[in-house]
Amino acid sequence: MLELKGIRKRYGEVDALAGIDLVVEPGEILALAGPSGAGKTTTLHVAAGILSADEGEIRVDDKDVGKIPPWKRDVALVQESYALYPHMTVFDNMAFPLRKPRSGMRVEEKEIRRRVTEVAEVLAMERLLDNRIQHLSGGQRQRVALGRALVRKPQLFLLDEPISHLDAKLRHWLRGELRRWLKAEGRPCIWTTPDGKEGLSVADRMAVIVEGAIVQSGTPRDVFSHPATVRVAEIISEPPIGILPGEVRLPGPELHLDGIPVPFPLSIERGKVEPGPILTGIRARSLSLVEDGSSATATKAEVVEREFTTRETVVSVGIGKGSVRILAPPFSEFRAKEQVTVEWGGAHVYLFHGGKERELLCEAQIAPAGTR
């Protein structure tokens, strides 16, 4: 088990890590999701011993490892920069930690070949084992760096955006293969990613980090379904969530959104509503495009753009100074500035405080208001 308790890392006046608390159980994959510069890599480097924490405690299997040098921590770290040996072949790069183990334990060459071959098959690299690193693409080099970590039997896996440089098809396939491998190994694993969708797909638990602080952690379902802040909702959302300014008025309560002339009655499902300015989060699956009708919760809007996927068309429509995304059938044709009708009745919405932290106040449903 890995425990990070109150980890702080400062650079001058800046807190790169502002009191990180994380626990990762054996066999558990924790996805650490956040934007660039949030502190994901710094967290891994502190856990690995590459960086020393200014405050806090790092424990592995209930042993304090904060003073142990990185080469004695038995940690497999995959860095985004690869850090490969260009004069060696793919096989020799992957075999290096077994031939030069820091622990001093000797691994027989037959066992080395078995482990490297097995991992190369998982990573679809078996045909490249005799190639030199300078002849590989960026995505292939990333897989070599992954393979060099996977051949070991470490106490802990730390993966820094391990599939970010792969093409979409390979990335999708390898997510499942890596998850299967890591679960079978039974070690704690932290997998960092800026992609909320990737985090949801691989994680047993998720933690969202913003500006050096963990703002929410929990199961993938909980973090997606009940985002604690606007930033969490934006990171863990595909397609991107729409955030619209507005106001809640009592009695009712009623939701007044900027750019929409009619108020929407709300049914509170979770949390407590407060009157005043708010930010409203609306996911693409909550709304629908309908033919002109008599619904009191249908409003006109203008198409901003559309994006085809194989399963649906993502239509962005302008609402006041903001926009929301709505799902339509695959390959539905929409033109920019085309007028459409948006049905709001039944939509699940997140109401966030309009202040600096933008924390979640409540979740609600826009109640259908009958017909005209």
pLDDT, average across residues 142-162: 92
**CA-CA distance, 202 to 154, in Å (whole number)?**
20
Q: What is the CA radius of gyration of the chain?
A: 24
Whether 372 is in a domain gets the answer no
Residues 284 and 154 in one domain: no
The tally of domains found in the chain comes to 2
Short-list 326, 301, 302, CA closest to 313:
326
pLDDT digits (tens, 9 = 90+) for 17-63: 999 999 999 999 999 999 999 999 999 999 999 999 999 999 999 89
Q: Work out the mean pLDDT of the chain and round it to a whole number.
A: 92
Residue in the block written with tokens 């890392």: 9
CA distance 345 to 326: 14
Portion of the chain with pLDDT greater than 70, in percent: 97
Cβ-proximal residues to 149 (8 Å cutoff; 6+ apart), any chain: 76, 77, 78, 97, 157, 159
CATH code, domain carrying 362: 2.40.50.140
First-to-final CA distance of the chain: 60
- 187 with 258, same domain? no
Task: Decide if pLDDT at 337 tops 60.
Answer: yes
Nearest to 343 by CA among 272, 303, 306, 292: 292
pLDDT recorded at residue 82 = 79
Residues 217 and 248 grouped into a single domain: no
For residue 370, pLDDT beyond 70: no
Question: Where do the H-state alpha helices sit in the chain?
Answer: 40-48, 90-99, 109-122, 138-150, 168-185, 196-202, 220-225, 230-235
188-208 b/e with 16+ CB inside 10 Å = b?
A: bbbbbbbbbebbbebbbbbbb
Residues 321 and 359 in one domain: yes
| The last residue of a domain, from among 227, 261, 287 | 227
Whether 63 and 94 map to the same domain: the answer is yes
Whether 65 is covered by a domain: the verdict is: yes
106 and 184 within one domain: yes
**197-222: average pLDDT:** 96
In a domain, 371, yes or no: no
347 in Cβ contact with 290 (< 8 Å):
no
The pTM of this model reads: 0.91
- The verdict on residue 235 lying in a domain is no
pLDDT grade, residue 372 (50/70/90)? very low
Question: What does the block give as tokens for 30?
Answer: 């924790």
What's 10's domain CATH number? Answer: 3.40.50.300
* Residue 211 in tokens: 């500006």
- The set of residues, in sequence order, having a beta carbon less than 8 Å from that of 63 and lying 6+ positions away, is none
**Tens-place pLDDT, residues 65-90:** 988 998 888 899 998 777 899 889 99
Same structural domain for residues 85 and 182? yes
Domain ranges, residue 277: 242-366
Indicate if 121 and 215 belong to the same structural domain: yes
Q: Determine, yes or no, domain membership for 236.
A: no
My answer on whether 315 and 210 are in the same domain is: no
pLDDT (0 to 100) of residue 153: 84
| Per-residue pLDDT at 81 | 79
Same domain, 216 and 250: no
Query: How do residues 278-301 score in pLDDT, each as one tens digit?
Result: 999 999 999 999 987 668 899 999
Give the pLDDT mean for 92-113.
Answer: 84
Distance, CA of 216 to CA of 40 (rounded, Å): 14
Q: Are residues 202 and 293 in the same domain?
A: no
pLDDT in tens, 237-266: 989 999 999 999 998 899 999 999 999 999
Q: What percent of the chain has pLDDT over 90?
A: 79
